[in-house]
Structure 1
Amino acid sequence: MQETAPHRFHIILNANSGTVLATGITVEALEALCAEAGLNAEVDGDVDIPLNERLKRAVDGGAEVIVAAGGDGTITALAGALAGTERAMGILPLGTVNALAKDLGIPLEVKSAIAALATGVPRRIDVGEVNERVFLHKVVIGVIPSLAAAREHIRGQGTWASKFAFMRFLVHRLSRARRMAVAINPEDGAEHIVRAKAVAVACNEYEQGLGKVFSRQNLDGGRLTIYTLTSLTIGDFVRLASGMVLGTWQDAPALSIESSAGVTIRSRRKLLKVMFDGEVETLHSPLRFQIRPRALTVLVPAGPEESQEGAAA
């Protein structure tokens, strides 16, 4: 018989995530929605305590499922605490991108996501690791992190002036960005030196298809995928973006793709600015990547057969 969702939940609410800021959802509102769905849930919304301390408190608390109620950064932080353990992670997607939630088919509307937790089933997925830090989607170096930092700076302003300012910055940054020289040493391949505008290392691979933008179906393939962009002019950017919508982005002439169980990326720079699952951070070079196969248990919506089994039980 298929396992059913454990019955004790500890929810870590990030009050600064995109959807929380937009909707104003509170601890009390979240508790009420959980009670309505029949969840035995404790909600931690204490923003005065550092996230790492809240994660430790949750892990020490003993709940069968610890839930990240926030954006991709909150989800990645919780995954780092739970990877390699038997504890399950739940997701309430309250961020701007909600990348992993989309990959797992988790509803993006809060009430529906809570209902999915109540009937969810465990699924084991891979996690990536760079310099001993867990990531779930991708780590990017090069020009992309500076673009992401600029976009994050104007997020929430929502004015035409801010959007125009970002577009001006985008054109200026892409036109002036220099290629960086890095050595890419895959675990099961030969080391090679590339001059690139951006290099991304993803946990498994992104699909190519109509409307599939940074979408993954295979989350337990046990491989890292390395994407290298040797050119990223404004024209390349437009072609790549349109190719993602049309399902042809992997055919871009400036893009090369390779796969490995692990890879080391070296640069002459001691510190590298990276986009780490959507968050801009600084990491020490070299960057040593590994994949940890099926290291994380995530609660996902039950399929039709699983739902019928649960109803029969």
Structure 2
Amino acid sequence: MGLNTHAARPVSYFPVSPVMLFPEALGDFSVYLWQGGDFVLYTVSGQKFTVRHRKTLHDNGVREVYVQSSEKPQYELYIERNLGTILLDETLPIEVRSQVFYEASTVVMQDIFDHKLPSAVRARHFSRITEIVKNSIRFLASDKTLSAVAPFISHDYKTYTHCMHVFIYSVAVFQAFDMSEADTYECGLGALLHDIGKARIPRRILNKRGSLTQAERDVIKEHPVHGVSMCAHLPMTQNTINCILFHHEKLDGTGYPAGLRRESIPLPVRIISVSDIYDALTTARPYAEAMPPYEALTLIRHQMRDGVDMDIFKRFVAVLSGADMI
């Protein structure tokens, strides 16, 4: 019997791939099936989703299950707590872990399209950006590459979702500069991996609530070099490596690790830098509340203009506002 038919107001649900319900992991949300024109309870909140549950769904050809929208925060916390462990579990076939990684990443992609980009951008660029994102995720889901990404996700899932956000913002702005498909893919991959080096930064520093000491800031500044090191065995182009290594460089030469200035910083890197700053400001962090978009853009324009390419910033604002810059 569907459980939403007698509710005081309509209950909404969102779809979930069964591979994202991890055996023996406890979730504080209920899972529903769509049967006979109604939502039917399958597992209750606080119940472990077992191998038997998954096999039953597979044997019956179930491709989607559902969670109530009101329980989405609990589902997102469940993913945050368990995804890294699943990806690191070498007892699971690489095909299973790759599919889990792919599904988790596409959920983040869909979320930013739904909630952080204007409808005009979604309508104009969704299919192209989606294909670029999916190709990049397929690359990361390969055997050797997943071994580099999985420890990163396990170490700090929130940093990985930040990278996904920066990736999608950056690719949307790449469209405004009419970058080639090859350059867009290579630099988009760099955006997606720009903070992977933070897997080697202690959590106590990444999640510190107060101000960092100078010594802690120095440790943080090592993450671009760590990132390139972690990806050294992967078949990446110089475009991708530049994006990982130089995303904290500033036009006035005060950035790191190389202190590059102006045109010495590649155009795609300057785009990623703006996207990185904006997403950091508009996302809640241990040491700061999330800023509203307008406030974040105002801060960048007035207080960071010496370090940020203002022409790119204007394009970024135009993309967020839905203007067509091509």
Return the structure number with greater strand share. 1
The structure in which a higher percent of residues are helix is 2
TM-score normalised by structure 2 residue count = 0.29
More relative contact order, 1 or 2 (CA 8 Å, 6+ apart): 1
